[in-house]
Amino acid sequence: MTTNQHGNEGAQARENEPDGGSPRDSRRRLLGAIGAGVGAAVVLPTVAAAQTGDGSDNDGGRQRSGRDRNGAGEGGRERGVRGNRRQGVVTGPDRFGRMFDLPPFAEPSQELRAALVELGRPGGIMDANDPLEVGPTRLITEPELSPNNRDNPTHTAGVTFLGQFMDHDITRDAGSRLGQPTPARRSTNLRSAQLDLDSVYGGGPAESPELYDGFSFRIESGGQFEDVPRDDDGQAILGDDRNDENLILSGLHAAFLAFHNAVLEDVANGTPTMSDFDQARRTVQHHYQWIVVNEVLPQFVGQDMVDSILISGFEIFDTDTPRIPLEFQTAAYRFGHSMIRPSYRANLAGDNGDPFFAFVFDPDTFGDADPDDLSGHARANRRFIGWQTFFDFDDGEVKPNKRIDAKMSTPLFQLPMFAIPTARGEDLGPTSLASRNLLRHITWEIPSGQAIAREMGVDPLSTADLDDLSSLGANLDTSTPLFFYLLREADVMADGLHLGPIGGRMVAEVFLGLLEADPTSYLNVADNWRPTLPQRNGRAGDGFTMADLLTIAGVDPTSRGQ
């Protein structure tokens, strides 16, 4: 069963016995081309549900008062800190949870709503004010034209969209009302709170047959190269249709489809069976999870933060009840919106032999059959991704990300309508992504950045650090919406290279906590699990990266010939 943009369908039934079938695409050649003996290297992971925690009571819990962090109403309870118990794994649609029992950053009022809309309006404090009139090519190739889009030399451009892809794997608000306070117990997260790629696999071949051809994924051609499958109206047929929101994201989705098919082809001895499918899916999940921990999180939060959590454990995420916290869903993990560039080089030679440069969104072209921007929902020859711009293939072509700060690229202040989620019967609301993020803080009664800093024992930012908010009223400079606060924290504390101490811990604890809580994750299946698939150098092991995954998927520059 798939979900649509408005979340009308329930999501994840675990798969049942499918009908069987044969793979559509043979990619054994590609695996063979990059590593010897791959078939032997792919091992059937033991799904060890054994609890590796010490089983003891939490050693550092703090008593909370007020709202239950899992949205179950009033009443505090002892909170797990550094607890490794894994009870109550959340595997399907469920509520969101909370990390903190703290009051909302402000009482809802018309004045507050107006201040938040103002903060996130086109041309406002958060708008990078990119000079769009110079066009997408100059804007990305002449950095001096967009001083508010400073390069981050420690991030590759693609990690932004891999981050969005990870978001769509674990969170999907089923349709809350923008700016209307809503109890957390009335929330629904349509995704499973696991890094299990349910956004790709749906319910498996039996529950989501529209995604599959036997045990392989359906992949179609976009003209020159792969595209996600689409219906006659061009609507993508995906486990989560949000993955067709922009071309880079749909390209990543297609790459994961091809990656699964390549691994399945390699696993199967003849016509694939359900057992081959399960083995391939597990191998895909584990390699993806490895990339999240070892390639993505160090870029998002800094290696020191990742190491600190892996060594010392969790302080704010409850691995006993691993729901996605609303503070993460509404604020912390939306930091990714600040890393998006106004324009990109989608590919190097796909536009009749020329590079395809385009704005991420351009309202002048919305709805065109082959729009000049990078919006999704369209198929055409030039609409594919040349991945060497986005991930490092050691060819000098990879480009850096934008730094993390309180500025967002100008095209994000006028989103295409198809990208905007609304509750049933609700008006569209602002098309500015910044304003929408901020208004959701009222919806989910998110505590202020300062209150969370104090709760975590971190010195809050100074009033001087937030001085630009003072003119907006509503005390936003002293009780700051968490989304804005964490972006400013990243800028002030880490020069925008990664998230700061609060934002970094919130993001890293959720991802590592979800893996810790999942008995089937690579952290739990075996002692010291390591990638089994070959890297581009032919060896298997720790160095496995997105570039290797894309190579196995057959969408790398060498396979494309461009």
For ligand HEM, which residue of 30, 236, 309, 433 counts as binding (CB under 6 A)? Answer: 433
Is residue 177 a contact point for ligand HEM (CB under 6 A)? no
Minimum Å distance from CB 202 to ligand HEM? 18
Q: Minimal CA–CA distance to 555: which of 383, 387, 355, 378? A: 387
Q: Are 520 and 47 in contact (CB under 8 A)?
A: yes
Minimum Å distance from CB 198 to ligand HEM? 14
Length of the chain: 562
Is residue 164 a contact point for ligand HEM (CB under 6 A)? yes
Q: Whose Cβ is closer to ligand HEM: residue 215's or residue 361's?
A: 361
For ligand HEM, which residue of 58, 246, 279, 521 counts as binding (CB under 6 A)? Answer: 246
For ligand HEM, which residue of 3, 12, 171, 535 counts as binding (CB under 6 A)? Answer: 171
Structure tokens at 320: 């006993």
Minimum Å distance from CB 489 to ligand HEM? 16
Q: Which stretch binds ligand HEM (CB under 6 A): 85-93, 179-187, 332-340, 476-484?
A: 332-340
Minimum Å distance from CB 432 to ligand HEM? 10
Distance CA 499, CA 164 (A): 16
Backbone angles phi, psi at 78, to 5 degrees: -65, 135
3-state secondary structure of 354: strand
Q: Minimal CA–CA distance to 67: which of 90, 112, 97? A: 97
Q: Which stretch binds ligand HEM (CB under 6 A): 40-48, 81-89, 161-169, 546-554?
A: 161-169
Distance CA 356, CA 347 (A): 5
Is residue 329 a contact point for ligand HEM (CB under 6 A)? yes
Is residue 163 a contact point for ligand HEM (CB under 6 A)? yes
Q: Whose Cβ is closer to ligand HEM: residue 167's or residue 266's?
A: 167
Is residue 377 a contact point for ligand HEM (CB under 6 A)? no
Q: Whose Cβ is closer to ligand HEM: residue 246's or residue 521's?
A: 246
Within residues 342-361, the interface with ligand HEM by CB under 6 A covers: 360
| Position closest to ligand HEM via CB | 336
Is residue 419 a contact point for ligand HEM (CB under 6 A)? yes
Q: Are 418 and 500 in contact (CB under 8 A)?
A: no
Q: Which stretch binds ligand HEM (CB under 6 A): 32-40, 44-52, 118-126, 415-423?
A: 415-423
- Residues with Cβ within 8 Å of 551's Cβ and at least 6 positions away in sequence, in order, are 30, 34, 536, 558, 559
Structure tokens at 361: 């969104």
Q: Which stretch binds ligand HEM (CB under 6 A): 117-125, 135-143, 165-173, 264-272?
A: 165-173
Q: How many CA atoms lie within 13 A of 338 on its CB side?
A: 30
For ligand HEM, which residue of 415, 469, 472, 555 counts as binding (CB under 6 A)? Answer: 415
Is residue 523 a contact point for ligand HEM (CB under 6 A)? no
Phi-psi region of 234 (alpha: psi -120 to 50; beta: other; left: phi over 0): left
For ligand HEM, which residue of 229, 239, 376, 421 counts as binding (CB under 6 A)? Answer: 421
Distance CA 362, CA 63 (A): 50
Question: Are β-strands 354-359 and 343-351 bridged in parallel, bridged antiparallel, or unpaired?
Answer: antiparallel
Q: Helices in 107-225 by DSSP H: which ranges?
A: 110-119, 136-141, 158-170, 198-201, 204-207
Q: Minimal CA–CA distance to 50: which of 3, 84, 2? A: 84
**Opening angle at CA 122, ends 118 and 126, nearest 5:** 70
Minimum Å distance from CB 171 to ligand HEM? 3
Is residue 173 a contact point for ligand HEM (CB under 6 A)? yes
Is residue 172 a contact point for ligand HEM (CB under 6 A)? yes
How many other C-beta atoms lie within 10 A of the C-beta of residue 142?
Answer: 10
Minimum Å distance from CB 436 to ligand HEM? 4
Q: How many CA atoms lie within 13 A of 467 on its CB side?
A: 4
Is residue 25 a contact point for ligand HEM (CB under 6 A)? no
Distance CA 508, CA 317 (A): 10
Q: Whose Cβ is closer to ligand HEM: residue 416's or residue 460's?
A: 416
Q: Which stretch binds ligand HEM (CB under 6 A): 35-43, 180-188, 218-226, 331-339?
A: 331-339
- Could you tell me the CA-to-CA distances from 371 to 162, 358, 359, 383, 398 in Å, in that order? 23, 9, 10, 9, 25
- How many residues touch ligand HEM under the rule CB under 6 A: the total is 24
Is residue 333 a contact point for ligand HEM (CB under 6 A)? yes
Residues binding ligand HEM (CB under 6 A): 160, 163-164, 167, 171-173, 245-246, 329, 333-334, 336-337, 340, 360, 415, 419-421, 433, 436-437, 440
